[in-house]
Amino acid sequence: MKDTSIEAFHRVKYYGTDQRHRDIILKAMHELNEPATSEVISVRCKLDYHQVARRMPELERLGLVRYNSQIRGRTSSGSTAGKWSLTSSQLMMDI
């Protein structure tokens, strides 16, 4: 990792930005109420695409979302991407 990447990682952890981003993303996914690409989620929650894309695998490891490469969506660049969805335990939660 570059020094700037390491510094950014430590800043995110120190200030708790990663947890705030996870909370914002989960709220946006509840509002969307359907599987969505990272790009669609980022637009909905007004976070940068990269901020969302970095948090999604973390949310998956926590068992809060799942990635489905079989369900595809178009991106703004015209390519296709897999969609993320809330797990059944998250679907039952009130946000």
pLDDT at 2 over 80: no
**What is the value of pTM for the model shown?**
0.79
Q: Which of 17 and 50 is assigned the larger pLDDT?
A: 50
Question: 35 is written with which tokens?
Answer: 């599987």
Residue 38 structure tokens:
């990272």
**Ramachandran assignment for 32, one of left (phi > 0), alpha (psi -120 to 50 degrees), beta (any other):** alpha
Whether the CB-CB separation of 63 and 89 falls below 8 Å is answered with yes
Q: In angstroms, rounded to a whole number, what is the distance separating the alpha carbons of residues 33 and 78?
A: 23
Which band of pLDDT confidence, cut at 50, 70 and 90, is reported for residue 9? low
